[in-house]
Structure 1
Amino acid sequence: MSLTVLVAHGSTYGSTAELARTVGDTLREAGLAVDVRSADAIRDLTPYGAVVLGGALYAGRWQHGARRFARRHRRALVRRPVWLFSSGPLDASATERDVPAPPSVRRLTLRLGARGHATFGGCLDERARGRVAQMIVKSGKGGDFRDFAAVSAWADGIARELRPLLSQG
């Protein structure tokens, strides 16, 4: 089994991609080979021994690229260690407590046999495109609620679970 970890993300405005890069950096610092890529750019999971998949949440659903990735690669994902993360609450709730995954992501966690799921705060600022995003920002409900230290701590836990695979390789 390859020991390269794929960190794939579905990100519309780039915030979830930044969280994915933080996961990737943390896994690299732990000695793992890592590839961080957009979920839309992945065609084949053969090079990867484990997958971390993140999706931005919009109205309780993952960004379409992350959903499509999970659907397209389901058979390959169930044969690998998989972790999922969501980004999206535009408040401090994800920092203050565990925020449960929305039902669609819970179902996906079960279908893939994912080893874990975490929800992290999101970011929506004046750079966001689209009418709905701009309305949210103008209403004062936007902002950056990402906790990169929490993301790194979560990724450290993944690295601890993957280290035994290194000694087998």
Structure 2
Amino acid sequence: MPSRVLVAYGTTNGSTAQIAEAIADVLRRQGLTAEAMPARAVASVQSYDAVVVGGGLYAGRWHKDARRFVRRHARELARRPLWLFSSGPLDPSASERDIPPVPGVRRAMIRLDAREHVTFGGRLEEGAKGFIARKILSSGKGGDFRDFGQIEAWAARIAGELVKEPPRS
């Protein structure tokens, strides 16, 4: 069983960080050692047996920190169990149906042989950084569309796979 799992994330306003923390909490409750960290703060993934990477979606692209993380650590990520997630739709669509990964994430999935990708709803609330975020909020389209039940169920599936898996040598 892999013992150490990294949940790395790219976020601007903290919503994706909260999702990553929720995933790490579930993994820990399932008996794994899990750590959620900002993707830009991770120097190496060598001490981890498995990795989950998430990024907020902005204008149809994954957060730049998540993109840079998968490029910088591609060789090591390809040798580990890897899952990817996105957060972003500002409507209930992510809870109602599977939303495919954006093209850049889909390419990373293929290149790194990621096991799965899921898109979760996003959150955009007053005080959000960025011109576009403020524009969206002023048009009345903000809110919190994250479904933590869905997030926790996905994390539990990951934990179930890892608990069955032999340790990496």
What TM-score bracket applies, with the shorter chain setting the length?
A: over 0.9
User: Is this contact kept in 2: 1:28–1:34, CA < 8 A?
Assistant: yes
User: Is this contact kept in 2: 1:3–1:165, CA < 8 A?
Assistant: no
Which 5+ residue runs of structure 2 have no aligned equivalent?
none
User: Is this contact kept in 2: 1:81–1:115, CA < 8 A?
Assistant: yes
Which 5+ residue runs of structure 1 have no aligned equivalent?
none
Give the alignment of 1:64-75 within 5 angstroms. Answer: 64-75=64-75
Distance in 2 between the 1:69 and 1:130 partners?
Answer: 22
Secondary structure of 1:18's partner?
Answer: helix
Number of aligned residue pairs:
169
Distance in 2 between the 1:163 and 1:76 partners?
Answer: 21
Secondary structure of 2:165's partner?
Answer: helix
Shift in Å at residue 165 of structure 1?
Answer: 3.3
Secondary structure of 1:141's partner?
Answer: coil
User: Is this contact kept in 1: 2:54–2:84, CA < 8 A?
Assistant: yes
Using the aligned pairs only, state the percent identity.
56
Provide the residue aligned with 1:59 in structure 2: 59
Secondary structure of 1:52's partner?
Answer: strand
Is 1:39–2:43 an aligned residue pair?
no
Give the alignment of 1:122-137 within 5 angstroms. Answer: 122-137=122-137
Secondary structure of 1:140's partner?
Answer: coil
Moved over 6 A (4+): 166-169
State the TM-score, normalizing by the size of structure 2. 0.96
Is 1:11–2:11 an aligned residue pair?
yes
Distance in 1 between the 2:40 and 2:69 partners?
Answer: 7
User: Is this contact kept in 2: 1:3–1:166, CA < 8 A?
Assistant: no
User: Is this contact kept in 2: 1:85–1:120, CA < 8 A?
Assistant: yes
Is 1:99–2:107 an aligned residue pair?
no
Provide the residue aligned with 1:49 in structure 2: 49
Distance in 2 between the 1:168 and 1:79 partners?
Answer: 9
State the TM-score, normalizing by the size of structure 1. 0.96
